[in-house]
Amino acid sequence: MSQILITETESELEHVQQNLTASEELSRLMPAWGCPKLIPLDEIFQKPEQVDYLDLLPRSDKKGGEGVHAVAAHQGTSLLYLVHAEHSQRLAEADIQALRHTLANRSESAWLGIVRSGTLVLYPISFEEQLPSPKEVSQADDEAPLFFQSLVQGTFSAEVKPQASDHVYQEIKRLLTRTTEAFVDNDLLDPLHVLSMSGRALFFRFLIDRKIVRPSERAKICPSAKDLKDAFSNPVCAAQTSAWLDETFNGDFLPIIDDSLAGEKRLAAYKRFYKEVSLATHGDLFEHLEAILKGWKAVDGQQLTFDWNDLDFAHIPVGVLSEVYEHFSHRVDRQLSLDKSVHYTPRFIASFMVDEAFTAMSGDKSQARLLDPASGAGIFLVLGFRRLFREHFEVTGNRPDKDIIQEILYKQIRGFDVSEPALRLAALALYITAIELNATPRPPKSLMFPRNLRGTVLHHFGEEAAADAYPHDRDQAALQSLLGSLGELPRREGLESFDGAFDLVIGNPPWTRLRDEAPAARKEKTGSAGRVKKSASDSANTAFSKIARDELEARELKHLAKDYRNPDKAPDVPFLWRAAQWARPGGTIAYALHARLFLHTQGKKDIAWQAIQEALAITGIINGADLRWTKVWDGMKSPFCLFFARNEKSMPNEGFFFASPLAEYAINATSRFRIDYAAVRTITQQETKQRPWLLKTLSLGTTLDVEVMDRITKASPHTLKEYWLQFDPSGDRTGKGYDKSFGLPQKPAPFLGKLLDFEDPTNNGFSIEWDRFETYATRYNRSSGSFPRSESLYQPPLVIVPQAPGDDPYSPKAWLADRAVAFSQSYYGYACQDSPAPQYVAALIHVLAHSTLARYFIIMRSASLGSDFMRFLKDDFDALPFPDPAKLSAADKKALLRFSACLQAGEGQMPLLPPKAKKSQGAKKQAAQEGGPDLFHQALAPPAPAPNQQRERPLDFWHELNGFIFRLYGLGAEDVQVIQDTLFASAPYRRAGEAAFLPTSPLPEETAPSTRQVFCTELQQRLQPFFEVTGETVDVGEPSGLRQQSWNTTWRFIAVTKCDAKIDVPAEILQQAMADANQNGLSRIIVRLHHGRGLLIGILDARRWWTRTRARLCAHTITLEHLDAFDEPAPYIPDRPRRRILDLSNP
């Protein structure tokens, strides 16, 4: 890209002459590139926001230095490290490469920018050995203010990208995995010993890299070693170093031998231990420990793409180490990890939760006490520790010294866990954090910790603790072991009380429901008869329910306590109730939980959700359902949420903030997500009671979708379920099909064996292929099932609906059977023979199942489809309002039967296309889903002519069918537009929704008006009536002066002006707009142009943001808030500025 380089002006020279520091000079310059407020890194620690960059700050009063001068971050994540060339003497290629490697250890997907003579020269931060060609962005570029947002959105293009944000984590994990595979997986050593020895080597490497130990001290530490990095090279060296670590710091963390031994006895015990290890592993273990200190290349000459020696523990964040330790502890305690459904918490999410929780906290935050009741390897404890350090600094203005740091650790932080390996590594992480925060970490002896963390800061709730608590009651001890941190610790003198003791309870408790052992294993024989003993999970769930009921009764909510049962045997909600006991009144609770908390609104789950809303003052919920399967939480397949609350009963009509970050793959690939604070909604408990589906609907749609859902739900006085129960009160004629599960006890079902067994038709067919079916008995060689269901379920007329509808809107969604047939639990059945009008009831269910309206309704409310599994629950379909077929007009009845018959005849089946034609047909399908004027005029047209009329293409049939259903439910053109746009922008299947992420520029094969043109036309049509009253015309179009650069700006702009107005977009307008986008994470910006000349609107360049519905919402905002921008001079006003989501003293 050609660049326009500009030299410093006289004004710039004046700044230099004023002796501004590099960071001060950068703070003045960088708004030209759209950067937010910078964090200075060229001065000693004196600002709270510098806590996360202590490793990069100068250690003396001398300003400047030869390192990084400042950093620009977004929503807590560093994106751009900056160096001012005029203030740095070392910018040769070797210096830049060294700086890239130093910053790469911080495990961030970020860039290094060097500001030189009006140009920003950019290098990706990574461990790559070759320095790539830089990318340049000139300050003179008209679109330079958009640059930083291209980093935020992950769209900045360059041949070489920064390393992944989890790169260091993955590499350390990979290197440690070699050790566990060699000695744990092969059962050569005790897993806890492997963990402790590896952890000690890592800790000593940390001391070396941080220059806390020096070569001159080698003789005191390990006399037998030739070099500090030989400290674990053989049994004698390892013994000497381990003894020194115990004496200098504290033997509490990573214990190996009897901690009561001292002096020569301790050293002798270590020598015996390491000698046994050497014999057991033929000395191989020491090669691994030595590699941690020296690198594999130095130890055995292996040619690796990445090596221990490439790492610099002086710059690796302790949070990254905690993530690695979490994985490491799982490797050495696999069964416990499996049983307790452990999901390690990514550093970005944990950091976000800690920051938001402290933001919402009231009072003196520096004195807050923090508990993580499922601490794992301590990621929340470490980040909370650092935040408390920062809060102390903010209150006093002085950097906390060693005594205050240790006081914070021992008095204000507590962690519980059931895993001994995890607690050992949590202790290590806390020790490292305390040392890192200390401004004077020399000499090492001065860092001695006063007492053990175990039993004070960290508490073990495993099997040993349960046995100690109930030494004479094995059943109770077994129950306590299963309850883990929800249970009790053994009573001992000096044990503090945890109830009401904490200002913040934070963490990621286990989510997965408890598993039962097989019934045969629980069977207890009593004489000739037998009974099955109550399962351990049943006992635990009884205890879970009691925890909730006790807390509800304590809050005088006895009406909720009476019927409360813990849903799904899952432990995460019980952890929420225990948090209410552990936290002080008015304290803060912050948990990462399964999103079923608010998505499932039926039965026990709805009672639990309503109870939580009344018992706790919920302040915010971040719904992460759309982020599953992304790098935000790598390996997370379940929908999750981040839950925040004050520990007090909610007040009537009190609201909480609700946000649903969307999957944005360029951002998510860097382990980040974006919260658009302008899209955050305030939700009251009353609203969730009236609309149980509200949060799911807002997760995928907008307030317009809530209005459409309201219209759909009011379209009929009863739902399908309510209508069905009028003639089938037992519900025997509807439900899942048989469950054969031959591993479970079988029930005889002679009728089932005689029935033909249903299978999906071939080639996505719409009609049942009877000649392909075998009887159930022939197919399975039996006439029984674990749950065969009733014979009446399989009788005609029968509608068979698959649970998993698939991502193709034109594939079969139900089959209509005119004879008896069996079907499995993968389907839902509706046997209509006893209904008042069997033929019409079956036809309506059959047609509804295929309609866009039903697909939309189910997605907008289902806790499963579009959130968890790609199938819907029967309750979702049964909740559809159901018009009484007997009350339909004669014309509608006739049309209903015709549409059902046409479906069975395959009139809606899309033709199979040759490979070359699939793409264009896919574009046609997507265009139909996205919507256009033709589609909606057809969708609302009268019923189509006679069924024997030849149709030119199957799409006509779908338009007619959907038009019939839309009219039946009283929906208008704008409602249909909302439905189509939401299904386009928020498709539950990622593959089907790919088009929504495409840029707005037309693809080569697209001939219709571009996405931006359609948006502009819609916006102009909605705004024009407000200008007609004064005889004026409004223009909506793209400003010609802005062009998309080769470095790929992520915004597109349109101007809204009076007719023929000239559009001038000065750089300061874009800078102000980008400042608002940075602060509030916006998807749309509305900027007032100078002198009353109209508006400049910036929208992210993805089609999901440019639908007709989004144009309608944009027009609504303009008419409410910005019409005066066309009449008189007006300053820049950000579009709906927002507070942070959890700054909620008064939501």
Q: Which pLDDT value is given to residue 231?
A: 94
Query: What order do you get walking across the sheet with 1095-1100 strand by strand?
Result: 1034-1037, 1051-1058, 1095-1100, 1084-1088
Reduce the DSSP state of residue 973 to 3 states and report it.
helix
Distance CA 279, CA 275 (A): 6
Per-residue confidence at 1046, pLDDT binned at 50, 70, 90?
Answer: low
7 to 12, 13, 1052, 1066: CA distances (angstroms): 9, 10, 30, 20
Q: What is the mean pLDDT of the chain?
A: 85
Q: How far apart are the C-alpha atoms of 719 and 881, rounded to whole Å? A: 4
Rounded Cα distance between 985 and 731, Å, is 37
Cis amide linkage into residue 838, ω under 30° from 0: no
Element (H, E) at 70: strand 70-74
**Interatomic CA distance for residues 443 and 722, integer angstroms:** 76
In this structure, are residues 595 and 640 in contact, taking their beta carbons and an 8 Å threshold?
yes
Mention every residue, 6+ apart, whose C-beta is less than 8 A from residue 1048.
150, 155, 156, 157
State how far the Cα of 687 lies from the Cα of 664, in Å rounded to an integer.
29
pLDDT bucket at 151, cuts 50 / 70 / 90: very high
> What are 236-275's pLDDT values in tens digits?
999 999 999 998 887 677 889 988 888 899 999 999 999 9
φ, ψ for residue 633 (rounded to 5)? -135, 85
Q: Which two tokens stand for residue 1145?
A: 């003293």
Closest among 379, 294, 300 to 344, alpha carbons compared: 379
Band of pLDDT at residue 1144, cut at 50, 70 and 90: very low
CB of 1142 closer than 8 Å to CB of 359? yes
Average pLDDT of 963-992? 88
CA 1142 to chain centre: 17
207-212, long-range: CB within 8 Å, 24+ apart, which pairs?
A: 207/444, 208/293, 208/313, 209/312, 209/313, 209/314, 210/313, 210/314, 210/435, 210/436, 210/441, 211/314, 212/435, 212/441, 212/442, 212/444, 212/447
The Cα–Cα gap between 875 and 872 comes to 8
Please, which pLDDT band fits residue 161 given cuts at 50, 70 and 90? confident
> Is there a contact between 89 and 58 (Cβ–Cβ < 8 Å)?
no
Question: Which residues, in sequence order, are bridge partners of residue 785?
Answer: 747
Residue 930 has pLDDT above 90, yes or no: no
Where is average pLDDT lowest: 133-147, 167-181, 964-978, 980-994?
980-994
Mean pLDDT within 783-790: 93
Domain ranges for the chain: 10-163, 166-316, 720-885, 915-995, 1011-1126
- Give the span between the Cα atoms of 1036 and 1023, in whole angstroms: 9
776, 790, 785: which is closest to 733 by C-alpha?
790
**The pLDDT value given to residue 600:** 77
Whole-angstrom distance, CA of residue 780 vs CA of residue 740: 9
Phi/psi of residue 707, nearest 5 degrees: -65, -40
Burial string for 196-205 (b: 16+ CB within 10 Å, else e) reads bbbbbbbbbb
Give the pLDDT confidence of 1076-1098 residue by residue, as tens digits: 888 888 899 998 887 778 899 99
Partner residues linked to 800 by β-bridges: 815, 829
Q: Of the ranges 225-234, 575-584, 799-808, 985-994, which one carries the lowest mean pLDDT score?
A: 985-994
Give the pairing of strands 523-526 and 529-532: antiparallel
| Distance from C-alpha of 500 to C-alpha of 580, rounded to nearest angstrom | 8
Cis peptide before 797 (omega within 30 of 0): yes
Residues 6+ apart with CB under 8 A from 164: 109, 170, 631, 669, 670, 671
Residue ranges of the alpha helices (H) in 590-664? 596-599, 603-615
pLDDT tops 60 at residue 17: no
Per-residue pLDDT at 405: 95
pLDDT band at 569 (very low <50, low <70, confident <90, very high): confident
Write down the residue that tokens 């005609």 correspond to.
Answer: 796
Q: According to the model, what pLDDT value does residue 376 have?
A: 87
* pLDDT score for 529: 46
Residue 451 and residue 457: Cα distance in Å, rounded?
Answer: 10
Strands 734-736 and 640-646: unpaired
Amino acid at 851: S
Q: What are the tens digits of pLDDT across the range 53-67?
A: 999 998 765 554 458
pTM over 0.85: yes
pLDDT-derived band at 488, boundaries 50, 70, 90: confident
R_g of the chain computed on alpha carbons? 33
pLDDT band at 755 (very low <50, low <70, confident <90, very high): very high
pLDDT surpassing 50 at residue 921: no
pLDDT at 673 over 80: yes
The band of 495, judged by pLDDT with boundaries at 50, 70 and 90, is confident
Helix (H, G, I), strand (E, B) or coil at 363: coil
More confident residue, 184 or 36: 36
Assigned architecture for domain 720-885 = Alpha-Beta Complex (3.90)
Whether residue 93 is predicted with pLDDT greater than 60 in this model: the reply is: yes
pLDDT tens by residue, 326-380: 776 666 665 555 455 556 788 899 999 999 999 989 889 999 999 999 998 899 9
Q: What is the pLDDT of residue 988?
A: 64
Q: Which two tokens stand for residue 181?
A: 């595979």
Of the chain, the end-to-end C-alpha distance in Å amounts to 48
pLDDT of residue 634 exceeding 70, the answer is yes
- What's the pLDDT score for residue 471? 81
Token pair 């807050």 in the structure block, residue = 368
Residue 1004, pLDDT score: 75
Show the tokens assigned to 840: 């019409």
pLDDT of residue 8: 39
Cα separation, 684 vs 488, whole angstroms: 36
Distance (Å, rounded) from C-alpha 381 to C-alpha 497? 19
- DSSP letter (8 states) at residue 515: P
Rounded to whole angstroms, the Cα distance separating 604 from 548 reads 13
Residue 181 CB-density burial (10 A; 0-12 exposed, 13-18 middle, 19+ buried): exposed
Q: Give the residues across from 734 on adjacent strands.
A: 830
Percent of the chain with pLDDT over 90: 53
CA angle 960, 876, 977 (to 5 degrees): 40
> Which region among 75-89, 512-526, 1107-1121 has the lowest average model confidence (pLDDT)?
512-526
CB crowding 708-727: b at 16 or more within 10 Å, else e: bbeebbebbeebbbebbeee
**Is the confidence at residue 1139, as pLDDT, over 50?**
no
Q: Which helix (H) or strand (E) holds 693?
A: none
Q: What is the mean pLDDT of residues 67-92?
A: 90
pLDDT value at position 796?
Answer: 97
| Distance of alpha carbon 574 from alpha carbon 623, whole angstroms | 20
Q: What's CA 251's distance to the chain center, in Å? A: 38
| Paired sense of beta strands 815-817 and 798-802, if any | antiparallel
The distance between the two most distant Cα atoms of the chain, rounded to a whole number of Å, is 102
Whole-number percent of the chain with pLDDT over 70: 85
Q: What is the pLDDT of residue 680?
A: 93
State residue 466 phi and psi, 5-degree precision. Answer: -65, -40
Compute the distance between CA of residue 693 and CA of residue 675 in angstroms, rounded to an integer. Answer: 22
Question: Strand order of the sheet with strand 734-736?
Answer: 734-736, 827-831, 798-802, 815-817
Is residue 218 within 8 Å of residue 196, measured between CB atoms?
A: no
Residue 1069, C-beta contacts closer than 8 angstroms, at least 6 positions apart: 1087, 1089, 1090, 1096, 1132
The single residue listed with the structure tokens 């009929």 is 716
State the residue for tokens 């959105």: 153
Name the residue among 884, 809, 886, 906 with its Cα closest to residue 849.
809
Stretch 306-310: mean pLDDT = 75
Contact 995, 931 (CB under 8 A): no
Residue 674's pLDDT band, with cuts at 50, 70 and 90, is very high
Task: Give the confidence band of 415 by pLDDT, cuts at 50, 70, 90.
Answer: very high
pLDDT higher than threshold 70 for residue 43: yes
Contact 7, 118 (CB under 8 A): yes
Cα–Cα distance, 412 to 10 (Å, whole number) = 54
- Answer yes or no: is pLDDT of 923 > 70: no
Looking at residue 806, its pLDDT comes to 82
DSSP letter at 1025 equals H
Enumerate residues 6+ apart whose C-beta is below 8 A from 452.
250, 252
